[in-house]
Amino acid sequence: FEAIPHSRVTHVDLPDPEVTGVTWEKGRVAIGIPRDGYIQVAQLGPKGADDAVRARGLDAFRADAAQLFPEAAAGVTGIGSTADVKHLDVRLDRLRRWHAPGVLCIGDAAHAMSPVGGVGINLAVQDAVAAARILAPLLRSGGASGRAEARALARIQRRRMVPTVVIQGMQRILHAALIMPTIRGRDLRPPSWVVKVVRRVPWLSALPALAVGVGPRPERAPRWARRPS
Ligand SMILES: Cc1cc2nc3c(=O)[nH]c(=O)nc-3n(C[C@H](O)[C@H](O)[C@H](O)COP(=O)(O)OP(=O)(O)OC[C@H]3O[C@@H](n4cnc5c(N)ncnc54)[C@H](O)[C@@H]3O)c2cc1C
């Protein structure tokens, strides 16, 4: 992973848009992610907004993007057509049953995650670690069929359902309390008392990172699956 070009965030100061890469105007919010040699900009919108954005045409889109995200203004001419603008539909749902004989759904296949909190990838990787840990002994012993298989698959679902429900619940709350009001025009800044408390007790800002990085049910790869260090 270290070899892949990436940007490193060491701390986030919420009220400062230059650090967070988040800009907003009444009802319009954009998030900028510095990539290798370019800035990736995501503009948030309610369901169905994509058609309206495309209907206004490329020039209006470029002007909007430049106004909303001035750091990217020089690059907007590089957007050659509205086909270059990708629409990512956010869904937040889950299967009732994650498995059938010979099949196990994990990650977004079992529970589609919203980008809120940047946590979906962690959850998917943790699902994979749990699945590997529980299934490997069964596969090795050649017993991966019939009841033993069904029990193992159900165990994986039971284990991973709890963090899925907790994290999707948090995402739903953030959608309702933060994202939708912001899209409707509310100020994105956190309440001033939150900013004051975090400034006084800086380690509090590590809690969201811990919640995202480790989550409510951490998974550890079994020893046999680790590379010798
Ligand atoms: C707009 C948006 C932004 C997001 N941002 C973040 C973020 O910043 N951080 C974060 O943690 N989460 C983010 N998420 C959530 C995150 O993307 C998912 O939770 C995560 O990618 C799930 O991983 P996955 O491996 O289960 O599925 P995916 O990452 O969707 O991987 C599935 C793979 O299967 C491939 N595939 C599909 N069909 C077939 C087929 N028939 N044959 C072969 N291959 C196939 C797909 O091409 C894809 O590569 C975001 C989600 C959205 C919608």
Q: Within the chain, which residues score under 50 in pLDDT?
A: 17-19
pLDDT of residue 18: 46
Gap between the Cα atoms of 50 and 81, Å rounded: 14
Pocket of ligand 1 (CB under 6 A): 88, 90, 107-109, 113, 115, 118-122, 124
pLDDT of residue 171: 94
Q: Which of 33, 121, 174, 214 gets mutated to test ligand 1 (max ligand atoms within 8 A of its CB)?
A: 121
Torsion of CA 96, 99, 104, 105, to 10 degrees: -20
pLDDT of residue 12: 60
Of 59, 57, 26, 20, which Cα lies nearest the Cα of 42? Answer: 20
Gap from CA of 107 to ligand 1 centroid (Å): 8
Of 207, 221, 1, 211, which Cα lies nearest the Cα of 127? Answer: 221
pLDDT of residue 17: 46
Kindly give the number of the ligand 1 atom that is closest to the alpha carbon of 106: 26
Q: What is the phi/psi pair of residue 152, to 5°?
A: -65, -40
Nearest residue CA, atom 51 of ligand 1? 115
Question: pTM of the predicted model, to two decimals?
Answer: 0.84
pLDDT of residue 19: 45
Q: Which of 40, 113, 129, 175 gets mutated to test ligand 1 (max ligand atoms within 8 A of its CB)?
A: 113
